[in-house]
Amino acid sequence: MWGLVDENTKNLFGIKYGKFVANNDQEEQNYARAFLEIVSAESYIPDGLRAAEIETALDDLLIAHRGTNNFYSEPPLARELSRLIGDSKIPEQVNKKYVLTLVEAFLTNGHGTAWNADPIYTGLIKQFDSNQALIAILSFNDETISSSLQFKLCQSKFRELLEVLKIKITSSAVTELIKEIESFSGPLDKMKDDSRFKQKVSTLRKIVS
C-alpha cells in the first residue's frame, strides 16, 4: 500500500513525525503513526519516534515489574513491547536501556516468575545481536541487576540467561568471561566487586561503549 503514497508525502510525514516528537505533541504523534500503520509503512517510522515509543514502553514495563501485582500487570506490557520491536533494529539511543530492562524483567523480582511474560522476554532476548548479548552478559555490573542477584531465583535465571546468550558469542574473551561467571563460587551479587571481573569488564566495555 505504501507504493500508493508518493515520496513527498513520505518525506512530509517523516519531517512532521520528527517535529511531533520534539514538541511532545502526543495527539499529533498518534495520528501520524496511525496513518503509517494504515498504509503498512511502519518501517518508515523515524528512529527518533521509535526510540520515544520504545522508551515509554520500557518505562511502563519497569514500573509494572517493580510494583505490586506484577504477575498480572507485566504480560500485557511485555506483549506491547514485543509488538513495537517486531523484527526491527533497536534505535541506538535506547539500545542499552532496552537490553537492561529485558534482563531485569527476565531475572524476575526474586519472588516468582511472571509466567505469561517470561516466554516473551525469552523470545526478545533470543533476538539480541552479539553487541546486545555482551551488554546483557556484563549486566551483573549494573547496580540494579547486581542487587537482584542476591536472590536465588534471580541467580538461577541469570545462569539461564547465559545459556541463551552463548550462541550469540563469537569472541573468545567473552566466552572466557561466561565460563568464569559459571564457575564463580561466591555470591553473584558480589561479582562486580571482584578484581578479576572488574578488569575483564573494563576491557569488554570498550567494545560496547
Higher pLDDT, 131 or 46: 131
Residue 59 lies in a domain: no
Positive or negative torsion for Cα 118, 147, 95, 64: positive
Residue 174 lies in a domain: yes
Least confident stretch, 1-5, 42-46, 55-59? 1-5
pLDDT of res. 189: 96
Residue 41 lies in a domain: no
195: how many CB neighbours lie within 10 A of its CB? 7
Residue 56 lies in a domain: no
Residue 204 lies in a domain: yes
- Cell reading at 72: 498480572
Is the CB of residue 58 less than 8 Å from the CB of residue 94? yes
Angle value at C-alpha 28, between 94 and 78, nearest 5 degrees: 40
Answer whether 0.85 is exceeded by the pTM. no
The answer to whether residue 95 scores a pLDDT higher than 90 is: yes
- Cell reading at 143: 547496580
| pLDDT more than 70, % of the chain | 78
pLDDT tens-digit readout, 19-31: 444 455 556 666 6
Is the CB of residue 100 less than 8 Å from the CB of residue 148? no
Beta-carbon contacts of residue 94 (< 8 Å; ≥ 6 apart): 51, 54, 55, 58
Please count the structural domains in the chain. Answer: 1
**Confidence band for 91, pLDDT divided at 50, 70 and 90:** very high
Residue 53 lies in a domain: no
Average pLDDT estimate for 125-135: 96
pLDDT of res. 208: 73
Beta-carbon contacts of residue 52 (< 8 Å; ≥ 6 apart): 21
Residue whose C-alpha cell reads 541467580 in the numeric block? 155
Residue 33 lies in a domain: no
* Structural domain of 188: 74-208
Tell me how far the alpha carbon of residue 126 is from its chain's centroid: 11
The answer to whether residue 145 scores a pLDDT higher than 90 is: yes
Closest CA to 95 of 141, 124, 52, 132: 132
Residue 83 lies in a domain: yes
Beta-carbon contacts of residue 154 (< 8 Å; ≥ 6 apart): 107, 108, 110, 148
